[in-house]
Amino acid sequence: PKVTYELPDGASHALDVPSGQSVMDGSVRNNLPGIVAECGGSCSCATCHVFVEEGASCFDEPTDEERDLLEYAEGVRPNSRLSCQLILTEDCQGVRVTVPDTNG
Ligand code: FES
């Protein structure tokens, strides 16, 4: 599915990210800045924080682990998620995320 990443510098990138990969994978594999993903996707660093602007319904609800970790992210909003926990499926359409400039 297509994922649009709005980057801290104002650029917008629409990428095709294969099902089964996360929103974080799509960013890292295409060398986009802003999603640092220090822990490599094991839900323990919070440097993959994004705001899900559209398409949130295709993702699972955050786990307790993710919720706890989000408390360490800066500038958390109601639509904050850890992008390594956002796994794409064929049902995902029109996913758009904003990448904050505070991911370290
Ligand atoms: Fe570390 Fe997502 S990559 S919590």
| Residue 57 · residue 76 · CB < 8 Å | no
Residues 72-96: tens digit of each pLDDT: 999 999 999 999 999 999 999 999 9
Question: What whole-number distance in Å separates Cα of residue 22 and Cα of residue 10?
Answer: 22
The pTM score is 0.96
Centre of ligand 1 from the C-alpha of residue 51, in Å: 14
**Which of 49, 52, 66, 84 has most ligand 1 atoms within 8 Å of its beta carbon, as the pocket-test mutant?**
84
2-98 CATH choice from 3.40.50.2000, 3.40.50.10540, 3.10.20.30, 3.20.20.100 = 3.10.20.30
Longest dimension (CA), the chain: 32
66 alpha carbon to ligand 1 midpoint, in Å?
A: 9
Residues with CB under 6 A from ligand 1: 24, 37-39, 41, 43-48, 82, 84
Token pair of 87 as six digits: 């796994």
ipTM: 0.99
The model's pLDDT over 31-67, given as tens digits with 9 standing for 90+, comes to 999 999 999 999 999 999 999 999 999 999 999 999 9
